[in-house]
Amino acid sequence: MYLAQTSSSVQVISTTIIVTAKTNIITSLGTESMMSSAFLWKGYLALHRYWPAKPIHKWEIRNERKRGGVLCVDSFDIVGDGVKDLLVGRDDGVVEVYSLHHANEPVLKFDQALSESITSIQGGCVGKDGYDEIVVSTYSGWVTGLTTEPVHRESGPGEELKISQEMQNKISSLRSELEQLQYRVLQERERYQQASQSSRAVFAVPSFSINDKFTLNKDDASYSLILEVQTAIDNVLIQSDVPIDLLDVDKNSAVVSFSSCDSESNDNFLLATYRCQANTTRLELKIRSIEGQYGTLQAYVTPRIQPKTCQVRQYLIKPLSLHQRTHCIDHDRPVNTLTLTGQFSFAEVHSWVVFCLPEVPEKPPAGESVTFYFQNTFLDTQLESHCRKGEGVFKSDNISTISILKDVLSKEATKRKINLNISYEINEVSVKHTLKLIHPKLEYQLLLAKKVQLIDALKELQIHEGNTNFLIPEYRCILEEADHLQEEYKKQPAHLERLYGMITDLFIDKFKFKGTNVKTKVPLLLEILDSYDQNALIAFFDAA
């Protein structure tokens, strides 16, 4: 299939999107007697058929390429094989065409990346008879078309490529329209300059809307912050009152600069400015937080409009920010239990869970109690939360999770002058279990750091000797994968230090519940980690 992007024009459109299934999707599958719905979840796309008795799950397209969430879908036979295709628009600007012909599930036939999120998509014949098009609208109001009409023609040696009269007229019309628009822009700019110099001039702060999203990515345990404005972004200032790491994003072309912070006096741990290139309307950032440290992340967005104005967006970094809701957990794991009892309502204990954990609805669910399950996206540890009037029970296979909940909930209850009775049960086996979960991640990061340190020395040897035949296979493999290793190491700043910190917290928390302060033994623990051996580490935890 051949699709080409056609010319675009600016149009003010509504950005309210309702994602619904099209009834003609049913026809394309040959199941007119059934009901179907296409739904989205974190970039997934799936089809269900609804029988009178129960729904049947037919297929599911996983977001293997880590693309954005699905904002709109349509069905249209853009391929021209007599079977309607599935057209998908995503919030990262990707347009996809899936074929449903002779397949149990859709097959990706075409994709095109635009610079803005897709708010609406529709297939049909628009520009020229005989050539179907996909028309999409973007968040800032652009309407763009992808056509099946060939726009490139080839000519042989000595042949003259002739443009049809119809195409010449079209080009001439577009040029004339563009000149008129440029002239009108110049007129309005001059009128504004004259008005602004008048003594009677009254300035109004221009308003603009921001389409933002702050979500936790399970794959790399980081938060994705997406900021999209309907006009070009000049710069974005990121400020945080808690320690966080900013990770590299491949799609991000903005230039970032960091300012020094005085964290001791004003709780200011991060000041970073992203200066965007011309015509950038969408900016994506990646952030990794530290569990147990909670506060607020603020984004100051300044667009390229006059007079200069700025909007602030605030995002909460929660105490257990790396936990994500899940439907089920492994009940066979060794768990530690924290129990809170007291004179508090169901709504109050639910609000504490909302304060500590992401993806929890602010309004308490109907009923007298509720149970939530969570999974730590970084360590794969689990948490079970069961709340009702006068009682909250939290179970986790990670002692540090229980310790964070105990400290935070005690502080919140004290603020609200609520008397809490706190009891806990610590399972010693869970410590070894958590260390075994950390082991593969720590071992991999130590090996990665070791390989990266060897790259420069190996490259010098390669230049000096002229070849790598004298090196052992392991070192030759490091040279061959040098770019990939350095790129991966660069994408995960302070990853090794983060794992060291988690092991240190686990060590301190284990003995804190016993009433013992072991902070003086932390230097010895770090020495063991520098010459890491899993058995030696477990023996140190047991002996301490």
- pLDDT, position 485: 84
Give every residue of the chain whose pLDDT is below 50, as ranges: 1-2, 6-41
Q: How far is CA 466 from CA 454, 458, 469, 473, in A?
A: 18, 12, 9, 17
CA angle, 428 then 432 then 433, to 5°: 100
User: What domains can be seen in the chain, in order of their start residue?
Assistant: 36-147 (2.40.128), 210-317 (2.60.40), 323-426 (3.30.160), 429-543 (no CATH)
Q: How far is CA 391 from CA 343, 386, 404, in A?
A: 9, 8, 18
Cβ contacts of 387 within 8 Å, gap of 6 or more: 346, 349, 350, 353, 369, 370, 371, 393
- pLDDT, position 155: 59
- DSSP states of 171-188 as a string? HHHHHHHHHHHHHHHHHH
- pLDDT, position 107: 86
- pLDDT, position 454: 85
Partners of 45 in the β-ladder: 40, 61
Q: Give the pTM.
A: 0.78
Helices (H), 19-150: 23-28
- pLDDT, position 2: 45
How is residue 68 written in tokens? 């954005």
Q: How far is CA 265 from CA 268, 269, 289, 417, in A?
A: 8, 10, 21, 28
- pLDDT, position 425: 93
Measured in degrees and rounded to the nearest 5, phi and psi for residue 430 equal -65, -25
